[in-house]
Structure 1
Amino acid sequence: MNESQRTVLVVGATGSVGRYVVASGIDHGFAVRALVRDAHRAELFPSGVEVVVGDLTRAETLCRAVAGIDAIVFTQGTYGNPAAAEAVDYGGVRNVLTALQGHKARIALMTAIGTTNRKGSHDWKRRAERLVRASGLPYTIVRPAWFDYNEPDQNRLVMLQGDKPLSGDPSDGAIARRQIAEVLVRSLASAAALRKTFELHSERGAEQKDFDPIFASLQADAAGALDGARDKPNMPLDDEPAYVVADLDQVMAH
């Protein structure tokens, strides 16, 4: 490996978006490290991808995964089960940040549209976002619309901010998995994407060649804020579980 090559850890690498992130990371010149629970999943990846075994729900198993990395892309996700969301969507982010032990890395975190709607498991995605912001690490947070419900000619990227009413079906927006991955990976090298939190949609038209002007059009999250720049203030920290507040304190201490 070229000594100047940056290493990106892909969390959720075997998932439907994570596999695209692995491919995009390779395309953009990263040394890609894939975190898996089962070593046999290594066969899913192209030659040259470093596979590391670890359990997102146990921070002590993640030290090798984060050793020497330059960036992390989080794509793990659960849907409809608050307990699983707490353990994986939230706990996985907390445990990777804990394993870093103060090591600096650029972060791209995938959550979902509707993260701030206070419905079920989405609260845990929002808490994961808060951990990333509280960490003080450079980050981009991407909230994709419905995966792969876009039409064949619907490839023009749209990045939105601010809460809006949702119907809970693909009429709320759509984006290709491949494009989600491309946005996550490209954000890692973009100064314009720093401290940006946004929904990712697509509209009819060709995909833009340069993503930086789209990133640059967005409002950055306020320094030290726990929520996104235009998020609804509907999750008071005083109402949060004590252990969630303790997790925030621990992340900030690093």
Structure 2
Amino acid sequence: MIQKRVLVAGATGYLGGYVVKELKKRGYWVRVLIRKPSQKQVFQSVDEFFIGEIVKPETIVGITENIDWVFSSIGITRQKDGLTYQDVDYQGNLNLLKEALKTGVEVFQYISAINGDRLRHLKIFEAKEKFVDELKSSSLNYSIVRPNGFFSDMEDFLKMAKEGRMFLFGDGTLALNPIHGEDLAKVCVDNMENKVMEETVGGPEIFSHNELATLALKAWKKPVKIMYLSDCIRKAIIFLLRTFTSSKTYGPIEFFLTIMGMDNIATPYGNHRLADFFYDRVHGKE
């Protein structure tokens, strides 16, 4: 079998790092996009580095030369350095897609998020889904992965629990199934191999917000103490932030508060357990 050559953009992020490891474990040749030479030390086994910035198209010319598959998890949670979601999540990925079109890569995989297609009114999803539209309308085979929350996102629960008290909106019965980066990376590579066009992915365990809060408190060996806030407060905060702050400020908060007001249950995959992740975080093992 001819060895596939894969470009990973977003490799210094939570998911991208696991994708690089999974690709190498399966014997693929991997090129990684980095912004500066010092980032090379983050990786143990990479075949080639390409130094450039996705928001500066002149710096990534030729990035997909001799590449079969492109993986991109490029995106920002918080707008900084003068860059917006449109600059990075949309235009940055579009710059990469244009390079991929020049060289005719076999598959372009992009990581959006669960319910992104239903939540286009959120600033962060507006940009992501605008790129999804561009990718789907291109001539390339595409693979869209929509993960549920990462285990790393659940650290917000853990940080709150450290103080011994949790605050939840509503009655805490809404649910989600977050996924570990290593498990998600396996799904991403599987989907590139099998040319799966679109899939929503979550972890093996479904938790209500009450169960998440309890799990986080127990990780710190704290008594279960949960305070419930009216869901009207959540909605009011979103309204006030949109009215009186810029998208740079309200973007990530709008995203978090909106997601916390709905069920987010995806197709379950993987073996990692959130309780183990919380334990390792509390004891400094991960």
Tell me the TM-score normalised to structure 1 length. 0.66
Larger displacement relative to structure 2 (83-92 or 5-14): 83-92
Q: Work out the CA distance in 2 between the residues paired with 1:101 and 1:5.
A: 21
Question: What is the letter of the counterpart of residue 175 of structure 1?
Answer: I
Residue 20 of structure 1, CA deviation: 0.4
Residue 128 of structure 1, CA deviation: 1.2
Residue 188 of structure 1, CA deviation: 1.4
Matched positions, count:
184
Question: Is the contact made by 2:113 and 2:145 (CA closer than 8 Å) also made in structure 1?
Answer: yes
Question: What is the letter of the counterpart of residue 12 of structure 1?
Answer: G
2:55 to 54, 57, 73: 57
Q: CA RMSD in A?
A: 2.6
Deviations 1:205-245 (A, max 9, x none): 9xxxxxxxxxxxxxxxxxxxxxxxxxxxxxxxxxxxxxxxx
SS at match of 1:72: strand
Residue 21, structure 1, aligned to residue 19, structure 2: yes
Question: Is the contact made by 1:109 and 1:184 (CA closer than 8 Å) also made in structure 2?
Answer: no
Residue 79 of structure 1, CA deviation: 1.9
SS at match of 1:20: helix
- C-alpha distance 41-80 of structure 1, shift in aligned 2 (>3 A): closer
Aligned to 2:95: 95
Aligned to 1:181: 185
Aligned to 1:201: 202
Question: Is the contact made by 1:114 and 1:122 (CA closer than 8 Å) also made in structure 2?
Answer: no
* Amino-acid identity (%): 26
Aligned to 1:9: 7
Question: Is the contact made by 2:143 and 2:191 (CA closer than 8 Å) also made in structure 1?
Answer: yes
SS at match of 2:145: strand
Tell me the TM-score normalised to structure 2 length. 0.59
SS at match of 2:102: coil
The structure that is helix-richer by fraction is 2
Q: Work out the CA distance in 1 between the residues paired with 2:128 and 2:58.
A: 22
Residue 143, structure 1, aligned to residue 146, structure 2: yes
Query: Which of structure 1's runs of 4+ aligned residues deviate more than 6 A?
Result: none
CA radius of gyration, larger in: 2
Question: Is the contact made by 1:145 and 1:199 (CA closer than 8 Å) also made in structure 2?
Answer: yes
Query: Structure 2: 5+ residue runs without aligned partners?
Result: 155-169, 207-286
Q: Work out the CA distance in 2 between the residues paired with 1:179 and 1:32.
A: 19
Q: Work out the CA distance in 1 between the residues paired with 2:68 and 2:18.
A: 19
Residue 138 of structure 1, CA deviation: 0.8
Superposition map of 1:1-254 within 5 A: 4-81=2-79, 84-105=84-105, 106-116=107-117, 117=119, 118-148=121-151, 171-191=175-195, 193=196, 195=197, 197-204=198-205
Q: Work out the CA distance in 2 between the residues paired with 1:27 and 1:47.
A: 10
Q: Work out the CA distance in 2 between the residues paired with 1:119 and 1:86.
A: 12
Q: Work out the CA distance in 2 between the residues paired with 1:149 and 1:36.
A: 22
